[in-house]
Structure 1
Amino acid sequence: MRFAAVAAGITLLLSTLGLVSPARADDVAESYVVRGEVTADGSLSITETITFDGPGPTDLEQRLATTRPQLNYTQLNYEINDVTVTAGGSDLSPTISTDGDYLVIGVDASKAGDDPVEISYTVVGAAVALPSIPDRADLTEVSWRVLQGLNVGVEQVSGEIALPANTHTYDIDCASGPPAATSTCTTYASGTFDAIYPQFTDGPRGPGEVVVLTFSVPTSAVAANQVLTEHWTLDRAFTAQGLPLAAALAALVLGGAALFALYRSKGTDAKGGRPIPVGRFEPVAAGEERFELVEKVRPGEIGTLVDERVDPVDITATILDVAQRGHLAIVQLPHENTNTNIDWTFERKTGPDELQHYEQIIVDAIAPVDGEPITVSKISGAVGEAVQRVQDAIYDEVVTEGWFVERPDAVRSGWGRIGWISVGVSVVALVLLAAFTKFGLLGLVLLGLAVGLLWVSQQMPRRTAKGASILSGLQVLAMTLATQPTDRLPKANTYEEISRVLPYAVVLGGLDRWLQALADADDDPGVPDPDDLSWYRAPQDWQLSDLPFSIESFITTMQGTLYTRH
């Protein structure tokens, strides 16, 4: 009581000073009476009778909500029509406008004098179909804020909603208070001797507070007329339940099975038999072994069989191979000074055996018959067109040998295009499914499957049984090159024997130990060896001990200047 008195005194003082406006009596209506009717088609008509003690306010306003949020990312939409505002039978000429999700009714209630102000309108969309229950008649729920959005308070609120004749009501409820924190109305009833139709009482209610009346009636008496729309949200777009989840799981299982089947049929090697030996060291004398090819598999073909691609290392190994076979001489050019990089050129020779088609292309490109030999530092621009032909020829060769059914590059390219198209289509599908449906999770699965297809495309092609057996033989040869003692080669022609091993060591591993073995085989240490190797010539002060550095530099420079890995 003391606090109320003090507050009243402060308010009076501020009012006297003109700092706040004193409350007006017409800011609160004496009563607010609702008379409504629900018709068989679900339409709801409302008439609100607002009575003031004396003239009403000049700026009476009511805001009627045209939407109402529901569960599952949906909202109800209300269509409000036939708005009238009268007093004593005279039209008060209200202003009617929209503000977002509200229909705003404004009127000068002071024109009503001592007569009550009557606001009338009809609502379509307040009758909502309830879920069907077995062995029970279908019901329609009618729910409406019979008091809402007034900018004045009301002392007493009451009302009644008439129904079609002989209509029984179920589950009536009435809530009132601030819109976000309503509680039970003072009284509400329906279907009794004293309350045949749904009716309620409540109050007092402040400005903006609501009274929500809800009841259910048989659908046979009142049809549902709800207008329901769905809101887009991230949770709704990627719903992980019900049909969207089932569709996503089904697509994942079926698509995953299809990708696995594709990988097994196109990207997994056929089952080979025993490994086919490619090369081995055969005894030729006590303590001496000679490297022999069992299968005619050239170094450039080995790299393609192993990783299904023609790489710079394959071309480099091929150049070393054709050189040690007598078709080329690799010529190391003299240093102008210690700050310049080593460079090489090539000298064409006539070898004792026949070159493969791709080997001939390489020799013609780097040591043309009627042109200047190419230097390694400029080889990329000089043989760029030839590189593509070399790749094509090697791919054709591995198919001719029966190691692949189709060209590896063609298979990867074809399925890669399908994979990228699938990714593009799945991205579009994901956007559309997420924007307009609840099946965004399905779109994510489709995108994942498309990426999986892109990955599978790069695991292709499938080696034949023969190719798989040759590959196993190459793995055995790689282990042999890494462990075979390097000092057991025939002493009479050690340079030539080790030179035959080098190109295979380039693609299979173990190159360092075989280069060192060749350097260690120098028969005159400390003496320059510019011409000791038939396939490699160097400046006059060059020695075999320089060979590891020279060849490693040659390989690194070749691979760096030819082309990037495909």
Structure 2
Amino acid sequence: MVLGAAQPSFPTPPTDAPTIDFPVPSAGPNPGGGSAPSIAPVPPTGSNGKPVRPPGVGAPPLPRSVNVQLKVERDGSLTVREQVIVQARQTMTRTAPLRIGDRVFTVRDPRVDGSGTAAVEGDNLVLRLGEGASTVQYTVDGAVEDLGDHQRFRWQVASGWDSKLVLVRGSLLTPRRGSNFTCLAGAANTEDRCESALTDGGSVLRVVQSNLDAGARVDLAADLPAGTVPANARFEAAGTTAAAFALTPLSGTGLGVALLLLLAGFAVLWRARSRDAAALGADVEPVELLDSAAGRAVFASPDGVLPGQVGTVVDERVDPRDLSATVVDLAVRNYLWITEVDGDWQLVRRNPADDALSGYERTVYTALLPEGTESVRLSALRATPPDVSAVRAAVYGDAVAHDWFGRKPTGLGPLVIAGIVVFALGAALTVLLGVVGGPALLGVALAVVGVGLVLGGRLMPVRTERGSVLLQQIRGVHTYLNTADPDSVAAADREVVFSRGLPYAVALDDAEQWLTRFGALDSAADGAPGLYWYATQDPVAATDQQRFTEQFRAFLTGLDEVFAKA
């Protein structure tokens, strides 16, 4: 709406119009000393010489009448006081728009003295009043616009009432005398002038409008001298993307919270990655797999980690070599028996899978020897590799259950899934608020948090703090496997040390040097020739450690091929 710049003309009231005394400032102290009367304003007069009174001024209160007092404060805010008379046994509601075209007003501290409520709801000031007289007070920001050589005041004295108003009276008081007053009354976007808009001798603009239709407005504008008050008018392109994405206190708070969450997440991510990097790069001491108890070698792995889990903790994936290490470990622990048969190898069921086996070990055992199968040849496994997809899932599940991993390395992970959900909600909220003209930056902030969760979930180390500690211990085991001296172990215990350490050497790709170091092992030193978990049909070869080393390398290569194909 474009408000006229020129002062409107108003019809001359009839000569018998009711009269009213204009307020005349009382005499005050003379700045120069003594007492002198203030200048008495002279109200406008008619052709008969009698003062002209604005219509309705001084009339008794009428049901469905509104008296509005406006005062522009020196800080640029506008204080409003509305006195509303509601007819008995009826109610009146005002839904005053706070967005008029591109102009945006802000109302604060609304309150009602009487029967009713006042509140800001979205882009509207809503007054709900009951019967009788009520006084509504509130403060408006955004009523004064700076136009360079002058300022422009604007506010709708009345608007959005759900009832026809019998009489609307209004007054405007400004710190400095205004000019070019414009008062429009009627439906929005119409240019009909108010019935009366006159300035009294005290420089107070008084407007009167009778029989204002429901939903119509009384729109008041005035020019003020430049610099009268701090200008605070705010403009937003209504219904456009720019308005929806404007930075407001609410959307700014949302973006600030999102930034804090991202910074906190970055700090957590940085700490976790630094911890993991330290576990991979720190110097470690050898960690022995066997301890001495009652004069005998007793096996003890760090945190109970199994050979098939060792490689997974190190590189966060299940490799064929990890599964091969598990098969060797099952043989060493007397669940399987490995024997040479006509240039091939046969895996024989020795003891059934029991509760001493972990979930993934039972899965490997069942994959190799299903129920009812007593033995299987390596060549048969090469021809028809077993399904080990469940084995990999079980290894990852065991690592999570032991709190070595915070999530499974495969798949999206809970943090990534949460991030995708949050991002989708943020994107939907952005679109919705953008359409309705709301603070769409809140949706953007939520979407940014979602992206942060996705990136954090992908960059966050899979290993937990406990897993990082175990990683250092595994590196210590690796050092032990490369430095252990067979001569420091009693001859009767060397077979146990060699056998229990071999699956870990396989998992850590140290089998070659482990086999070489124990190449002079006398397998008969424990009272029985040959290894207790590996057999050959050649009686001479049973005690030939060098031949066993060559055959075991070939067996291990074949086993790796089986799991690689699977």
Q: Shorter chain as normaliser: what TM range?
A: 0.3 to 0.5
TM-score scaled to structure 2, two decimals? Answer: 0.43
